[in-house]
């Protein structure tokens, strides 16, 4: 249709009736430093980031009730499901993984992004995570057949890697490809998070992580919006990633 022309992508609704802006928010997992302020919550309301990542270094809240309240508050401004993530060490034995996963679920988390590859039995570990009502993540270097058989939902691919090469279509993987943290370590000035996010998603990724700075997240969001409008990041690819996220949401999310 003529509305699908590049200049008018904002007027075209995607999966689940989402606007283009909501879709761009949906494929971003974002964290911030310090407590949740009214200004931060308003920023979240405007951008509708689909993932919240809470990691100790961000010092978002000290105790369990504070973390639970933080997740609930952010969920409260969302028009679509929010995926709450952390990256806690998950142990290696199945009972330990099950206990930790249940504890995280009780706090309101949906996924532990620390991959389960250190587990003695990866399929059993993934089953324990699923039994707790959580999503599972694995690094892309693992034995893919075992991960696919165990229905792992997320594969973490380093953002300097080309996702479509790391996770080729012909392996039959139905889940999502998520980046590592675009703010991780001493990223070179030549590879700022906005450019890295556009490249990662354009090359076959489904979701990007900006884990410490809401301002960087906002800039990244603007870069992704511009990339869809100018056609360098095809809307059809964004739609496909959002559809995968919405399909996931039917399983565990509140």
Q: Is the pLDDT of residue 178 over 50?
A: yes
Q: What is the pLDDT of residues 96-133, one digit of tens each?
A: 888 999 999 999 999 998 766 656 677 888 889 999 99
| Strand 51-53 with 28-30, pairing | parallel
Q: Whole-model pTM above 0.85? A: yes
Per domain, the residue ranges of the chain are 28-249
Range with the poorest average pLDDT among 41-45, 88-92, 181-185, 196-200: 88-92
Q: State the pLDDT at residue 205.
A: 95
The residue among 216 and 167 whose pLDDT is bigger is: 216
Q: State the pLDDT at residue 153.
A: 92
Q: Is the pLDDT of residue 186 over 50?
A: no
The residue with tokens 């009736």 is: 17
Q: How far apart are CA 135 and CA 163, in angstroms?
A: 20
Q: What is the DSSP string of 84-110?
A: EEE-----SSHHHHHHHHHHHHHHT--
CATH number, domain 28-249, options 1.10.3720.10, 3.20.20.300, 3.40.50.300, 3.30.565.10: 3.20.20.300
Burial tier of 7 (Cβ tally within 10 Å: 0-12, 13-18, 19+): exposed
The confidence band for 254, taking pLDDT boundaries of 50, 70 and 90, is very low
Residue range 54-64: mean pLDDT, rounded: 88
Q: How far apart are CA 201 and CA 241, in angstroms?
A: 9
Q: CA–CA distance from 14 to each of 21, 22, 225, 231 (Å)? A: 10, 9, 14, 16
Q: Is the pLDDT of residue 2 over 60?
A: no
Q: State the pLDDT at residue 115.
A: 65
Q: State the pLDDT at residue 44.
A: 98
Q: State the pLDDT at residue 24.
A: 98
The angle formed by the CA atoms of residues 38, 71 and 14, to the nearest 5 degrees, is 90
3-state secondary structure of 111: strand
Q: How far apart are CA 114 and CA 112, in angstroms?
A: 5
Q: What is the pLDDT of residues 17-41, one digit of tens each?
A: 999 999 999 999 999 999 999 999 9
């Amino acid at each position: 249709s003529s509305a699908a022309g590049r200049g008018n992508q904002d007027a075209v609704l995607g999966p689940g009736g989402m606007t283009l802006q909501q879709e761009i928010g949906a494929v971003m997992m974002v964290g911030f430093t310090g407590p949740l302020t009214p200004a931060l919550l308003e920023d979240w309301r405007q951008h509708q980031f689909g993932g919240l990542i809470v990691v100790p270094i961000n010092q978002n809240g000290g105790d369990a009730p504070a973390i639970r309240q933080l997740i609930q508050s952010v969920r409260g401004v969302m028009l679509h499901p929010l995926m709450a993530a952390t990256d806690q060490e998950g142990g290696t034995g199945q009972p330990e993984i099950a206990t930790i996963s249940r504890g995280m679920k009780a706090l309101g988390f949906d996924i532990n992004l620390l991959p389960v590859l250190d587990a003695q039995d990866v399929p059993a570990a993934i089953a324990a995570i699923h039994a707790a009502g959580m999503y599972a993540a694995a690094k892309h270097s693992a034995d893919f057949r075992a991960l696919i058989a165990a229905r792992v939902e997320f594969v973490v691919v380093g953002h300097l890697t080309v996702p479509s090469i790391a996770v080729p279509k012909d392996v039959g993987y139905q889940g999502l490809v998520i980046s590592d943290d675009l703010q991780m370590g001493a990223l070179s000035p030549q590879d700022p998070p906005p450019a890295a996010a556009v490249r990662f998603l354009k090359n076959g990724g489904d979701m990007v992580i900006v884990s410490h700075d809401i301002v960087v997240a906002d800039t990244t969001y603007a870069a992704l919006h511009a990339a869809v409008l100018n056609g360098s990041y095809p809307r059809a690819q964004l739609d496909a990633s959002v559809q995968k996220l919405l399909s996931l949401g039917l399983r565990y999310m509140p």
